[in-house]
């Protein structure tokens, strides 16, 4: 790995950076090509589903509300996250292009983590929206405004991009003078920094900080939100309670689909041994399945979206009928 095009580049005689890394995910898995076909199907469904949801929100003016600004952001993030990850995974392993340029590896890492972080924090902002709607219904329209939601989303994008830039910056301060084989399906943070031959203590701290920001804090905030919602619901009539709970079901399903696999994989890896291939497959599913399911859950479980889809279909039928009449006349 250190010869020819893979020779190391030395910066200031202090940090030794390789020209390329070698991604070693999905090694020795029987019939792995079927899994790549499955990932391709997941990506197609993700693109179709999220583009459809984005189009519905954009075209239907009644959905131009703060709540659907958050949904729009989630669909956009899901689409970008999957596009960052799945095509590159298929290109790397299906066509056996496992070498990745050092700079491209760091960029890859940055974007995967930024989009994963935005998925997580968009779910937090959704929980905040439900919290205000149920606990402070009379003040909802004065608190949850378009400028307020836009500010929250932009702040999340800025903070997460800054944290991930720092995380990737610390990788750039490492020297890689041993193996350059990354035991993952993409340039994951921990598998990359563990290859370094100098002190990685700051990278370990950064890994914990990122895990706390991306998983722990969002889960705690969403949990506290639903505790408050449960207390508020216990004080109202049962008919109103059922109606209010229905508005939360789609969000709770999104939270479960996103966080349960992440928590399950991390808890299992800490408490017991997971075969590297099992960890890699779990990780790919954790990164890809939620983005595919989110638009399906939101389209099927939210009455406003279903009604908007029906309106669009009726509008298209009417326009097609009018057009055909004009052509006939």
Note the pLDDT tens digit of each residue in 187-232.
Answer: 999 999 999 988 899 999 999 999 999 999 999 999 999 999 988 8
Residue 25: DSSP 8-state: T
Tell me how far apart the alpha carbons of residues 8 and 66 are, in angstroms, rounded to a whole number. Answer: 50
Flag whether the pTM goes above 0.85. Answer: yes
Domain made up of 23-303: CATH architecture: Up-down Bundle (1.20)
Q: Are the C-beta atoms of residues 113 and 164 closer than 8 Å to each other?
A: yes
Contacts of 130 (CB under 8 A, 6+ apart): 225, 229, 247, 248, 251
Tell me how far apart the alpha carbons of residues 111 and 29 are, in angstroms, rounded to a whole number. Answer: 27
Torsion angle of C-alpha atoms 93, 46, 115, 104, degrees rounded to 10: 30
SS3 annotation, 177-191 = CCCCEECCCCCCHHH
Annotated domain spans of the chain: 23-303
Per-residue pLDDT of the chain (329 residues; tens, 9 = 90+): 444 344 455 444 577 888 999 998 888 888 888 889 999 999 999 999 999 999 988 988 888 899 999 999 999 999 999 999 999 999 998 888 899 999 999 999 999 999 999 999 999 999 999 999 988 888 999 999 999 999 999 999 999 999 999 999 999 999 998 889 998 889 999 999 999 988 899 999 999 999 999 999 999 999 999 999 988 888 877 777 777 777 788 888 889 888 988 888 777 766 777 777 777 888 888 889 999 988 888 776 677 777 787 877 877 776 666 656 665 65
Note the pLDDT tens digit of each residue in 232-275.
Answer: 888 877 777 777 777 788 888 889 888 988 888 777 766 777 77
SS3 category, 17: strand
């Amino acid at each position: 790995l250190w010869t020819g095009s893979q020779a190391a580049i030395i910066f200031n005689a202090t940090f030794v950076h390789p020209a390329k890394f070698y991604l070693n995910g999905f090694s020795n898995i029987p019939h792995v090509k079927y899994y790549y076909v499955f990932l391709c199907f997941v990506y197609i469904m993700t693109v179709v589903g999220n583009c459809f949801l984005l189009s519905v929100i954009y075209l239907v003016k009644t959905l131009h509300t703060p709540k659907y600004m958050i949904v729009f952001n989630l669909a956009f993030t899901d689409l970008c996250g999957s596009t960052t990850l799945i095509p590159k995974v298929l290109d790397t392993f299906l066509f056996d292009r496992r070498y990745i340029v050092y700079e491209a590896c760091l960029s890859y890492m940055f974007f995967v983590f930024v989009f994963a972080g935005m998925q997580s924090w968009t779910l937090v902002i959704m929980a905040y929206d439900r919290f205000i709607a149920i606990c402070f219904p009379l003040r909802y329209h004065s608190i949850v405004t378009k400028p307020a939601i836009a500010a929250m989303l932009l702040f999340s994008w800025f903070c997460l991009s800054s944290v991930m830039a720092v995380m990737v910056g610390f990788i750039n301060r490492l020297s890689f003078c041993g193996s350059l084989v990354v035991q993952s399906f993409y340039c994951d943070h921990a598998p990359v920094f563990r290859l370094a031959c100098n002190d990685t203590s700051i990278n370990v701290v950064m890994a914990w900080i990122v895990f706390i920001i991306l998983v722990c804090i969002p889960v705690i905030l969403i949990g506290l939100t639903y505790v408050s919602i449960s207390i508020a619901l216990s004080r109202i009539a049962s008919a109103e309670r059922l109606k209010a709970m229905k508005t939360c079901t789609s969000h709770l399903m999104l939270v479960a689909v996103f966080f349960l696999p992440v928590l399950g994989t991390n808890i299992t890896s800490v408490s017991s041994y997971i075969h590297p291939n099992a960890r890699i497959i779990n990780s790919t599913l954790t990164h890809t399945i939620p983005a595919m399911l989110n638009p399906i859950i939101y389209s099927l479980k939210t009455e406003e979206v279903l009604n908007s889809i029906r309106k669009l279909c009726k509008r298209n039928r009417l326009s097609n009928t009018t057009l055909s009449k004009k052509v006939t006349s």
